[in-house]
């Protein structure tokens, strides 16, 4: 166990969550709830859902032999695993019995799929009137795109984020799936709010997240500027169009990001560069002007940085209190002394893996009731029999389910 809450229980102790999610948005939402103490049951296909094998650690290996992917190890900590085919009548019966014991159902599936699986709100409330259904879809329910499928990159592309990242000749999406993680986090936030409200009213409700709505929220102020000023901005690489210097520049032995936003930071930067006279230059009179003339500021920062090692440059920038940081490779991030000292990454073993995986804790720390990482992700169907026994099924019934191909 990593970390303990007062009394050894998380704030969501006693809450049962059924996780029908796939990939990131649904599963990470459920994982965050699990970190806070909820009991989370992940329900997946008998042969293993597709997200179990994305970025496999041991290619060609099977479930429980190292064939699980890096994504799965992160998204499914603190969960018990149940295999089930909910598209069969028997499977839907098991789903109904599960729902009767649950507080929250998480599912990132299109509306028609939810209904076919008996996971639409009407079907759920017929079994458990105060159930909370947390749905995550690509485009939300009610519009012309509602039945379309989509991933993080689709949402990044549709709000203008990919267009303004990279260079004019080639839009670039972020390597980090920020839309997925943002949607998961907001869905967990909404689920917590629904649980708080249910404690007062006794009623459940639908919590609806979508990739497109998250991307619109995170990119909103850029859209506000476009609508009100008609700036029609284009991509300019790593430079900021709103301030400067704000760019990635090369050092003797690597790259660093330097960001000066606001007049106080620009003053400190100008003095560090020996360019005090630029403080009265109309080209750099405010953030917008510095953004418009950012190429000049980046070039000056580059000339300064290229004569220093990364360590030397960052040391001088830190003394001047100018925000800056190294551009790390993934391995350098793993080796960073601050990340290690903060204890963010928790090693969790998994069958067949060459060594424990560094799993990031819930990225919010609570002083009195912290979230905890208690268990690794489940091996395929690891807890199927135990969960069904807890639901009241007899051993011969469970054996029949397995023979029938339901579990």
- Give me the CATH number covering residue 299: 3.30.1540.10
In this structure, the answer to whether residues 291 and 204 fall within a common structural domain is no
Q: What is the rounded distance in angstroms from the CA atom of residue 381 to the CA atom of residue 83?
A: 5
In this structure, the answer to whether residues 211 and 144 fall within a common structural domain is yes
pLDDT digits (tens, 9 = 90+) for 186-197: 999 999 999 999
In this structure, the answer to whether residues 362 and 389 fall within a common structural domain is yes
pLDDT digits (tens, 9 = 90+) for 95-126: 999 999 999 999 987 778 888 889 999 999 99
Residue 161 pLDDT more than 80? yes
In a domain, 143, yes or no: yes
| Whole-structure pTM value | 0.94
In a domain, 378, yes or no: yes
In a domain, 334, yes or no: no
In a domain, 237, yes or no: no
Q: If you average pLDDT over residues 211-234, what whole number do you get?
A: 97
In this structure, the answer to whether residues 24 and 137 fall within a common structural domain is yes
At 2, the pLDDT band (50, 70, 90 cuts) reads very low
Dump strand ranges (E) for 148-219: 166-167, 170-171, 206-210
The CATH number of residue 71's host domain is 3.40.50.10540
Task: Please identify, among 328, 352, 368, the residue that sits at the C-terminal boundary of a domain.
Answer: 328
Q: What is the rounded distance in angstroms from the CA atom of residue 143 to the CA atom of residue 150?
A: 14
In a domain, 228, yes or no: no
Q: Residue 338 to residues 22, 25, 342, 344: CA-CA distances in angstroms? A: 32, 28, 6, 10
In this structure, the answer to whether residues 349 and 310 fall within a common structural domain is no
In a domain, 240, yes or no: no
In a domain, 316, yes or no: yes
At 6, the pLDDT band (50, 70, 90 cuts) reads very low
Task: Please identify, among 278, 303, 328, the residue that sits at the C-terminal boundary of a domain.
Answer: 328
Residue 7 pLDDT more than 80? no
In this structure, the answer to whether residues 348 and 212 fall within a common structural domain is yes
In this structure, the answer to whether residues 263 and 214 fall within a common structural domain is no
Percent of the chain with pLDDT over 90: 92
**Domain, as residue range, for 324:** 245-328
Contact (CB, 8 A) for 34 and 40: yes
Query: Residue 219: how many CB atoms within 10 A of its CB?
Result: 18
Q: Is the dihedral of CA 189, 191, 196, 197 positive or negative?
A: positive
Would you state the pLDDT for residue 147?
A: 84
In this structure, the answer to whether residues 147 and 272 fall within a common structural domain is no
In a domain, 337, yes or no: no
In this structure, the answer to whether residues 85 and 193 fall within a common structural domain is yes
Q: If you average pLDDT over residues 251-276, what whole number do you get?
A: 97
In this structure, the answer to whether residues 56 and 183 fall within a common structural domain is yes
Would you state the pLDDT for residue 115?
A: 87
Q: Is the dihedral of CA 236, 238, 240, 243 positive or negative?
A: negative
Task: Please identify, among 295, 328, 361, the residue that sits at the C-terminal boundary of a domain.
Answer: 328
Overall number of domains in the chain: 2
In this structure, the answer to whether residues 203 and 101 fall within a common structural domain is yes
Residue 282 pLDDT more than 90? yes
Which of 146, 81, 68, 105 shows the shortest CA–CA distance to 349? 68
In this structure, the answer to whether residues 31 and 158 fall within a common structural domain is yes
């Amino acid at each position: 166990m990593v970390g303990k809450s007062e009394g050894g229980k998380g704030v969501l102790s006693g809450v049962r969550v059924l996780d029908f999610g796939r990939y990131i948005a649904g599963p990470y939402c459920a994982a965050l709830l699990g970190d806070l103490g909820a009991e989370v049951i992940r329900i997946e296909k008998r042969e293993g859902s597709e997200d179990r094998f994305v970025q496999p650690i041991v290619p060609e290996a099977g479930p429980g032999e190292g064939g699980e992917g890096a994504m799965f190890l992160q998204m499914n900590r603190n969960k018990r695993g149940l295999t089930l085919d909910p598209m069969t009548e028997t499977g839907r019966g098991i789903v109904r019995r599960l729902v009767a014991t649950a507080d929250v159902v998480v599912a990132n599936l299109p509306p028609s799929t939810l209904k076919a699986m008996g996971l639409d709100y009407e079907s759920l409330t017929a079994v458990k009137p105060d159930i909370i259904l947390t749905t995550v879809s690509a485009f939300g329910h009610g519009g012309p795109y509602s039945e379309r499928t989509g991933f993080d990159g689709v949402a990044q592309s549709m709000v203008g984020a990919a267009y303004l990242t990279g260079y004019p000749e080639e839009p670039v999406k972020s390597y980090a799936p920020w839309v997925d993680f943002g949607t998961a986090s907001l869905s967990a936030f909404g689920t917590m709010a629904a649980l708080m409200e249910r404690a007062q009213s006794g009623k459940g409700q639908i919590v609806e997240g979508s990739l497109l709505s998250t991307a619109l929220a995170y990119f909103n102020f850029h859209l506000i500027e476009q609508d009100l000023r008609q700036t029609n901005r284009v991509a300019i690489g790593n430079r900021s169009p709103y301030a400067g210097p704000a760019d990635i520049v090369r050092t003797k032995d690597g790259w660093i990001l330097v960001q000066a936003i606001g007049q106080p930071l620009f003053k400190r930067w100008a003095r560090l560069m020996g360019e005090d006279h630029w403080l009265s230059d109309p080209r750099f009179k405010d953030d917008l002007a510095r953004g418009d003339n950012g190429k000049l500021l980046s070039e000056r920062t580059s000339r300064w940085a290229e004569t220093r090692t990364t360590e030397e440059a960052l040391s001088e920038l830190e003394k001047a209190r100018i925000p800056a940081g190294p551009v790390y490779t993934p391995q350098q991030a793993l080796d960073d002394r601050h990340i290690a000292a903060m204890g963010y990454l928790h090693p969790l073993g998994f069958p067949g893996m060459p060594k424990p995986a560094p799993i990031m804790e819930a990225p919010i720390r609570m002083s009195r009731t912290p979230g905890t990482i208690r268990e690794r992700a489940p091996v395929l169907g690891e807890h199927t029999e135990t969960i069904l026994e807890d639901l009241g099924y007899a051993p011969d019934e469970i054996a029949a389910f397995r023979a029938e191909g339901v579990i």
